[in-house]
Amino acid sequence: MSKKREKLLQQLEEKFSASGQNLDTHLEGLLHAKYINYWDYIKTDALLSLQQQRTVYPDEMVFIMYHQVNELLFKMMLWELEQVSQKQDLTIDFFSEKLYRVSRYVDVLASSFEVMGDGMSMEQYQKFRHTLTPASGFQSAQYRKIEFASTELINLIDNRFRSTIDRDTPYSHAFEHLYWQAAGKDHKTGEKNALLSNFENKYRKDFIRFMQKYNETNLWTKFKSLPEEQRNSPKLQNAMRHYDHTMNVRWVMAHYHAAGKYLAKPDGTVEEATGGSDWRKYMLPKYQKRIFFPELWSQDELDDWGIGNLETCKIL
């Protein structure tokens, strides 16, 4: 027996005996086990059974599958953000590596949005969209979680209420003033539309727990915990700005233009969105002013958010 195999057997022996198990039993199990196949490991059958149309229009499949691709990428982003949040003794190398990964995923999202923008027949979209009311991508829980995991809560509060909210404000109160409440809440009467109340009935408790969890461990707070000299690294700051801009301007504008195309009426007015928001105003970054890392932008850049020709640096 080779030295390598001897060592492996010894390590296995140690591993199993440490938990009172018998290595021979495990080796025998190995003898009878089936080989793993690609389809077992990736769960392709389960994955490919998740595309269920509500109508007969073929392009509804494009719509469903691209949303699912987005949700998988959202999950990849959250996976990395979670690791930064849990990391004790955070180092700049670890932080940068995870940030670059998150940034690459959001680049894929922003640069692929033409799959929606150019990839469906207008005629078919106009038909199948009616079966989706009152649902909307607005109800993507992972999208909201990425926001909570990326920045401090105050940066997600509707601009109009920021001065009334501080770190002592209860989470439930802050929740009612998140910027996205504007898509479904009448701020005079407090009444919520189906888009928003259905979303909250399903996820409110989960969101409040998530907000608490990331209160001190979101990406921005973690960045601030790095030593000053590392925080001041232009390379790291550029990567942070790149992520912020791609997520909150580039993706948002690609999304807005797709909505503008599919929801435009021949007479120049627009259709109501499936979720029912005043979407032409609501979706624009210049109104939302959702900025994950405002301290990394100059006053001019903040004033121009979503309007000007913001130069951002590519990941080095």
Residue ranges in contact with ligand HEM by CB under 6 A: 66-67, 70, 116, 136-138, 140, 143, 180, 183, 255, 258-259, 262-263, 273-277, 279, 283
- Nearest CB to ligand HEM, comparing residues 240 and 273: 273
- Nearest CB to ligand HEM, comparing residues 78 and 116: 116
CB 106 within 8 A of CB 112: no
In whole angstroms, give the CA distance from residue 200 to residue 139: 9
DSSP 62: H
Considering the complex, what minimum distance in angstroms separates the CB of residue 138 from ligand HEM? 4
DSSP 189: T
Alpha helices in 130-170 (DSSP H): 141-150
CA-nearest of 140, 138, 185, 139 to 158 is: 185
111: left (phi over 0), alpha (psi -120 to 50) or beta: alpha
Give backbone dihedrals phi and psi of 270, rounded to 5 degrees, phi first.
-125, 155
In whole angstroms, give the CA distance from residue 308 to residue 297: 13
Considering the complex, what minimum distance in angstroms separates the CB of residue 158 from ligand HEM? 12
CB 120 within 8 A of CB 63: yes
Considering the complex, what minimum distance in angstroms separates the CB of residue 30 from ligand HEM? 42
Considering the complex, what minimum distance in angstroms separates the CB of residue 263 from ligand HEM? 6
CA-nearest of 117, 139, 110 to 264 is: 117
- Nearest CB to ligand HEM, comparing residues 81 and 263: 263
The helix/strand/coil state of 186 is: coil
- Nearest CB to ligand HEM, comparing residues 145 and 241: 145
- Nearest CB to ligand HEM, comparing residues 87 and 294: 294
- Nearest CB to ligand HEM, comparing residues 77 and 259: 259
Neighbour count for residue 282 (Cβ, 10 Å)? 18
Considering the complex, what minimum distance in angstroms separates the CB of residue 287 from ligand HEM? 10
- Nearest CB to ligand HEM, comparing residues 99 and 263: 263
Q: How far apart are the first and last CA of the chain?
A: 49
Considering the complex, what minimum distance in angstroms separates the CB of residue 206 from ligand HEM? 16
In whole angstroms, give the CA distance from residue 165 to residue 100: 32
Considering the complex, what minimum distance in angstroms separates the CB of residue 174 from ligand HEM? 17
